[in-house]
């Protein structure tokens, strides 16, 4: 893993965002995989700003996202689709028909097969962006007894519910989500991984220095050939 340590979230956003923009400029019809959460917001801001300045265009880019809540309308303000719409999709020139998202309100098995076929039909994900949960989860692959394969429906852990329920002020946070599996994430040709803050330090340590185990799902990234890790000093403090 290529580990890079920065002082601020903004510096990470600029560095990771530049990596995405440079890649899009080299392959304008590439396939990008995105993540939600607080961590990638500065990266999306950088990309939107570069698009606004005419330094990059996303008009032929295709996108997928890692996960989506179940039992929550796509238009609800806390859906991951709306998060992406607010932070990136509405700010760049991506075409709506080039944006694919897991549907958390349909049959999970059929949706998993549809998503895998859609990724495959577009040539696979060129760069997948990842964050990490305090418990080592990537996407919503929570600590488990074995690594998952393609997308599936998962019951969220108490730790994840506690971390994300701060965003839900009108309804209870959903207990289930559809998530890309570890197998589908590992198929991405390149991974850009970002973690910031002391609350991620233990998970980052276990991911990079620990054994490869489904108890820390992110540790599987040790087996991926092309991972660039962007950390701030707090997230890197246990390395």
Residues in the site for ligand F6R, rule: CB under 6 A?
35-39, 66-67, 131-133, 137-139
Distance spanning both ends of the chain, measured CA to CA: 13
Return the number of the residue (67 or 126) whose C-beta is nearest ligand F6R: 67
Q: How many helices (H) and strands (E) are present in the chain, helices listed first?
A: 7, 9
Return the number of the residue (92 or 218) whose C-beta is nearest ligand F6R: 218
C-alpha to C-alpha distances, 59 to 14, 18, 96, 118, 239, nearest whole angstrom? 21, 17, 10, 18, 39
Instruction: Give the 3-state secondary structure of residue 177.
Output: strand
Instruction: Give the 3-state secondary structure of residue 44.
Output: helix
- 102 touches 65 (CB < 8 A): yes
Q: How far is the CB of 74 from ligand F6R (least distance, A)?
A: 15
Q: How far is the CB of 193 from ligand F6R (least distance, A)?
A: 9
Q: How far is the CB of 180 from ligand F6R (least distance, A)?
A: 9
Q: How far is the CB of 143 from ligand F6R (least distance, A)?
A: 12
Give the separation between CA 215 and CA 148, rounded to whole angstroms: 12
Return the number of the residue (29 or 202) whose C-beta is nearest ligand F6R: 202
Residues tagged active-site: 67, 135, 137, 142
- 230 touches 16 (CB < 8 A): yes
Return the number of the residue (57 or 85) whose C-beta is nearest ligand F6R: 85
Q: How far is the CB of 53 from ligand F6R (least distance, A)?
A: 26
Give the separation between CA 151 and CA 208, rounded to whole angstroms: 24
- 153 touches 181 (CB < 8 A): no
Structure tokens at 165: 């329920």
Give the separation between CA 141 and CA 181, rounded to whole angstroms: 7
Burial class of residue 97, CB neighbours in 10 A (0-12, 13-18, 19+): exposed
Return the number of the residue (21 or 84) whose C-beta is nearest ligand F6R: 84
DSSP state at residue 141: B
């Amino acid at each position: 893993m290529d580990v890079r340590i920065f002082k601020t979230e903004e510096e990470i956003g600029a560095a990771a965002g530049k990596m995405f923009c440079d890649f899009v400029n080299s392959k304008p019809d590439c396939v990008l995989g995105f993540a939600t959460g607080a961590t990638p917001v500065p990266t999306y801001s950088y990309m939107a700003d570069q698009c606004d300045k005419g330094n990059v265009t996303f008009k032929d880019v295709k996108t997928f996202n890692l996960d989506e809540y179940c039992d929550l309308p796509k238009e609800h303000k806390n859906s991951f689709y709306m998060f992406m719409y607010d932070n990136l999709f509405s700010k760049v020139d991506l075409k709506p028909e080039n944006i694919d998202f897991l549907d958390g309100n349909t049959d999970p098995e059929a949706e998993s097969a549809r998503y895998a076929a859609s990724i495959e039909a577009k040539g696979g994900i060129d760069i997948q962006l990842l964050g990490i949960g305090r418990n080592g989860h990537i996407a919503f692959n929570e600590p488990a007894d074995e690594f998952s394969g393609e997308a599936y429906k998962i019951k969220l852990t108490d730790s994840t519910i506690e971390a994300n329920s701060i965003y839900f002020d009108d309804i209870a946070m959903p207990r289930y989500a559809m998530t890309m599996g570890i197998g589908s994430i590992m198929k991405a040709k390149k991974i850009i991984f970002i973690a910031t803050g002391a609350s991620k330090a233990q998970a980052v340590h276990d991911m990079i220095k620990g054994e490869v185990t489904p108890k820390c799902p992110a540790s599987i990234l040790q087996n991926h050939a092309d991972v660039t890790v962007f950390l701030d000093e707090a997230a890197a403090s246990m390395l």
